[in-house]
Structure 1
Amino acid sequence: MSTAHVRALLDHVTAELPRESWPHWTEGWPQEIEAALLDAAFSARATYGTPTSGVRAVITRWRDHRAAPLDDLTALAAHADEPEGLLAVLNNRQRVPGNYTTKAEAVASAARALAELGCTTSADLRDDDAQRSAVVAVPGFGAATWECFAMQLGVPTPASRAVVCDFLGEALDLESPATATQADDLIAATAARLEITPATFTHAVWRYQRRQRRAAGAK
């Protein structure tokens, strides 16, 4: 990829997901598996918000309650049998798609399922069949929940890589999809120009592309 490609990508980013208004210019929740799971659940069909509203407010309430690093799923799993306590802390009774249960209850169930597999911290997360199935099997969760959860922790999946490559192809009007190496190089070069980490750029792009796909599917 050339310098011209980087310039074109920067122009596309400025036009489509400007840093002053797109709320996802962050690395996600590295080393905070609890926050990542809450984000994956509560961002479904919801306004992402600010630190005091929406999804981020839910995470802030849990952080204040925990008063500890958010990297131990057993804290959420402890509410799986009696979720009312978690509902009270999070102060949010939104329900999962399909209206099976509240998002808080689904989070607690997923946390327990992952913990039973030995996945309690961010260092334990792997994009493998067992962990993915533990999340996807929770009523109201699905593949998109898993992808969002993994992305927040910087764990790439084939699907999330494809989403980012699609963005690059569309932004640059490429005749063929960028290879993984080309995508990584272009992301690194663009992130350097923006003075952010590649992880931050990847996260912002992935969130944007997901929103575009949802909007296209709704038409």
Structure 2
Amino acid sequence: MKDTDVARAVEFIAAELPREAWPHWNQGWPRESEAALLDAIFSSRAAYGTPKTGVHAVVDRWRTHRSVTAGEHLDNLSALAAFTDRGDELATVLGNRQRVPGNYSTKAEGVARAAKALVDAGCRSSADVEDTESLRSAVVSVPGLGPRTFETLVFLSGKLSAASKDLLARFATEASSSEELLSSTDATELLVAVSEHLDVDVRTLTHAAWRYQRTAEQPRRSKKTTTSPAADPLAESA
């Protein structure tokens, strides 16, 4: 990877998704399937928030409810599935009553139903999360949840699907100002080089880049939206 490509990418990141403004500078939720599912659903059409608000606040409240301490993982989807018939109770636990797209239910109810569908499909922890048609069908079977919710779950669980690799390749192409679309291999090489330059974990940079590109490519919900994703971190659609 050329030094000029890395330099351009570093400049692009500083301008478009600076660490002080872009809320996704974290690793996602590897080995924490419960947190990944909560994030995938609660980040839909909502401000992501800060480390103490929004999605993170929801996860923190669930962590407190589960009495999971530092060093332990929220990685048992059956714990969320247990609230399938107690959606209102789960909404109280999470301190959030936002609705899923389409207003079919609260997001808390959507989480519980999605967890139940995943468990029934044989997915009980992050080790079981894979980009398969059966698991995709399980998630999208829940009213208000769509393919993007499933893709987010897979990515946040630490897995890179073919679609995610392509998306990161598009990010790397734009960030480096390449005239040709970079391959997934070249994109990975660039992200590793940039992470070393920025002294940040490559998984953290990958998460920030993935979220940025997803936001940049999704259709805007309002014609009034003219700001960049970094200035106005729009929520992802379902």
Give the TM-score taking structure 1 as reference length: 0.95
Within a 5 Å distance, the mapping from 1:158-169 to structure 2 comes to 158-169=162-173
After superposition, give the CA deviation of every residue in 1:39-65 in whole Å (9 maximum; x if it has no partner).
Answer: 000000101112332111111110110
Alignment-derived partner of residue 81 in structure 1 = 85
Partner in structure 2 of residue 153 of structure 1: 157
Paired with 2:175 and 2:221, the residues of 1 have a C-alpha distance of 20
**Of the candidates 106, 109, 122, which is equivalent to residue 110 of structure 2?**
106
Secondary structure at 1:28 match in 2: coil
Letter paired with 1:57: A
**After the TM superposition, which residues 104-183 of structure 1 pair with which residues of structure 2 at under 5 Å, given as runs?**
104-183=108-187
Q: Which moved more, 1:167-176 or 1:193-202?
A: 167-176
Distance in 2, Cα, partners of 1:108 & 1:50: 24
Contact 1:51 1:60 in 2 (8 A): no
Bigger helix fraction: 1
Q: Which residue of 2 aligns with 1:206?
A: 210
Residue identity opposite 2:119 in structure 1: A
1:194 match: 198
Deviates more, 1:34-43 or 1:149-158: 149-158
Corresponding letter in the other structure for 1:15:
A
Name the SS of the counterpart of 2:218 in structure 1: helix
Equivalent pairs counted in the alignment come to 219
Once the two structures are superposed, residues 150-188 of structure 1 have per-residue CA deviations (whole angstroms, 9 ceiling, x without a partner) of 111111112212221111222223222111111111111
Q: Deviations over 1:121-171 (max 9, x none)?
A: 111111111111111221111111011111111111122122211112222
Structure 1's 20 and 215: CA in aligned 2 closer, same or farther, altered over 3 A?
A: farther
Identity of aligned residues (%): 50
1:15 and 2:24 matched: no
Choose between structure 1 and 2 for higher RCO, CA contacts under 8 A separated by at least 6 residues. Answer: 2
| Runs of 4+ deviating beyond 6 Å | none
Distance 1:162 1:218, change over 3 A: farther
What is the CA-CA distance between 1:30 and the residue it aligns to?
1.1
Structure 1: which 5+ runs fail to align?
none
* Distance in 1 between residues matched to 2:165 and 2:141, nearest whole Å: 23
Provide the C-alpha distance between the structure 1 equivalents of 2:66 and 2:99, rounded to a whole number of angstroms: 23
Secondary structure of the residue aligned to 2:35 is: helix
How far the C-alpha of 1:216 sits from its partner, in A, is 4.7
How far apart, in 1, do the equivalents of 2:213 and 2:30 lie?
Answer: 21
Equivalence for 1:53:
53
